[in-house]
Structure 1
Amino acid sequence: MRYVMILTGDEAPWNDPEIAGPLMEEITTWWGKWFEAGKLEEGGAELAPSAGAKTVGRGPDGAPTVTDGPFLELKEVVGGFIYLQADDIDDAVAVASTWPCIAALGDRVEVRPVMER
């Protein structure tokens, strides 16, 4: 079955090269391990900082409105997503629980089944 890992956390540490550099090396190693094991799919994305985002919503008159940045003032934002191939949700969670940013930064990973229509 297909699942997605939704990666969330604080963006601030990624601005520090002493944190980001070694962590990216860990992530590259993590990616290689799980890709070779057949648990990761091509695709997914690392997202640019949320400061460059635009949020589209419904305004008071029902027409779309656009605001700069994320909709809410949050410390944790979505930083990216990764597609998984797993036997079941427990298998997907087992892979997600090894995501390096959980231990290093206290980030969170949401695991969801992908809708196949």
Structure 2
Amino acid sequence: MAKYLILIYGDDQQWEAMTPEQRTAHEAAHGEFRAAAGSRVLGGHELELAPTATSLRSDGAGGVTTTDGPFLEAKEAVGGYYLIEAKDLDEVLGLAAKLPEVRAAHSGVEIRPIVQNG
């Protein structure tokens, strides 16, 4: 079995603008995804909005600079993730297609295999 990270991207302003009914439907869709994936979900969390991020970078002189906000300024930001264990990418694609972000105009998902060292 291989491990995959499903990164969920979207527009923070669109997520914040959800009505309570839209938020309830959105959370229900994630519940359906988790139910379909079952024990293949090894972990996952919704993240606070991008402006709450803190980024670290080299200062070019051997030190580290800390800044408020995401590493890159972009319209879409990572809003959450799932760590999945599956037999292959096709299985993950089938599961990830159930996520509501796949069908929303302001969001999407990225699937990345986890490197298996040793």
TM superposition score category, shorter chain reference: 0.7 to 0.9
Q: Is the 8 A contact 1:5 1:82 kept in 2?
A: yes
Sequence identity percentage:
29
Is 1:88 aligned with 2:82?
A: no
Q: Could you tell me how far apart the structure 2 residues matched to 1:86 and 1:100 are?
A: 20
2:70 corresponding residue in structure 1: 70
Larger proportion of strand: 2
Number of paired residues? 114
1:58 corresponding residue in structure 2: 58
2:25 corresponding residue in structure 1: 22
Distance 1:17 1:107, change over 3 A: closer
Q: Is the 8 A contact 1:13 1:20 kept in 2?
A: no
Is 1:34 aligned with 2:33?
A: no
Gaps of 5+ in 1: none
4+ aligned runs moved over 4 Å, structure 1: none
Distance 1:4 1:30, change over 3 A: same
Matched AA of 1:113:
P
Could you give the per-residue CA deviations for residues 19-75 of structure 1, whole angstroms, max 9, x where no partner exists? Answer: 32321122112222221xx4322x222111111111000114331001110122211
CA RMSD, 1 decimal: 1.7
